[in-house]
Structure 1
Amino acid sequence: MRGSARGLFVGRSVVLLLAAGALAGCVADKDVTGSVMRASASREVATGDREGQLRRMAATYAAAYEKNPNDPGAAYAYGVTLRALDQRAQALAVLESASIRHPAQRQILAAYGRSLADAGRLEEALKVLGKAHLPEQPDWRILNAQGAILDQLGRTAEARRYYESALKIAPGEPSILSNLGLSYALAGEPAKAEAVLLQAVANPKADDKVRANLAMVQGLKSAGPAKKPTRG
């Protein structure tokens, strides 16, 4: 890695990465999973008005990005903050450009892959997330996102293998269990879905979206097997 390519981890870029790190963690699972924010990450934006804080963060990162769009830290921070604000088209544009400029930066590739999934470009998202993930350095968030994308593509058996791998790294993680529960629900197995989602909500890190998924599945279960839920 030459000169400026190291900027993602040294110099002023590391400040942006540290500031955006928790945020990136929380939105990592927002894309295609039942969990929006992890407890550890939500504290970064939970005090006061969340949207207001995100907008202030976006303004800060936008200024840094406009000043130097080649700065990987600025592009990454700006892109994930835009995703948190649901400005998905703009986030995709920023992260796509960053991935072209910095094809070896796995954090950027991971964020870009999730942004592609936001846009419904699922096959492309899988390819990009595959490049962002190293088997020798497994990341449960990427595995979880890959699993959820595979579920949307109807590749249920493959999806569940990804969830199982993710759970080996992060046992009991509610966002993974939420995805697995939805996988069972989408396959018309509400009893299994409910059991898994009950495990998810038992975790103190479970958020309102996970609890809403459980309520939805319980409603479907009581209504009978004819209906299937859709991912939120």
Structure 2
Amino acid sequence: MKAVDSASKFDQDRAGEYAQQSRIGLAGYDACHDLAACLLSVTLDSESEAQILVVGAGGTAQEIVAASKLAPNWKFTAVDPSEPMLQLSRESLASKGLEARTELHLGYVRDLRTEKKFDAATLIGVIHHLQGEDKKKEILDEIASKLKPGAPIILAGNRFDYASKPLFLSAWGELWRMNGVSKEEVESKRAKILHGADPLASNEAVIDLLGSAGFIEAEQFFSSLFWSAWIAKYNPNQSQ
């Protein structure tokens, strides 16, 4: 799948329902973002004037909202290829008085025209939408090129082939039913993720992918059915 195809999935209709839907389909959505902010805070020092690269920031901008509660001096550069999703982030940030601390860029990391290196990066809810390992490594390589040595990255997304975990897949469907979705709608959602996403095969595959882009010492800090999150740090001497 080309990068543009990944972006096109998040059209006006999907963007409009993203905030609610993500909190159901990705159980623990808010807790994951809160923990990510806490880990970055203790890694970078919440009193610092760090510059954070937020990749795939469209939708809720929850990475920025959570981190801003701990780190009043951090500035954010948010990148997303979907205009409807980026607009949602713009509205969310404005409602919380955070627009002055954030630069929003429509497009991809490779489109950023800046020489500055960032102190940290986040890639949350993106990796499983990219088809094939080459596309996944490409985005991590692009992020790595924008980071200072030793900078932490937060990576969160789905892993495991969905069909390989029937118990998890059934529980995921029940989670939707618990939130008022009919059985017929659940089946439609299940069919959509089985054919529309490409999660990494295992936890080990995630760590290997991070390592191939120069991210070392990866530690998993959150897991919820298919959804999981890691923190790692950039070592340019380890990239392949």
TM-score, normalising length: structure 2: 0.29
Larger Rg: 1
TM-score by length of 1: 0.29
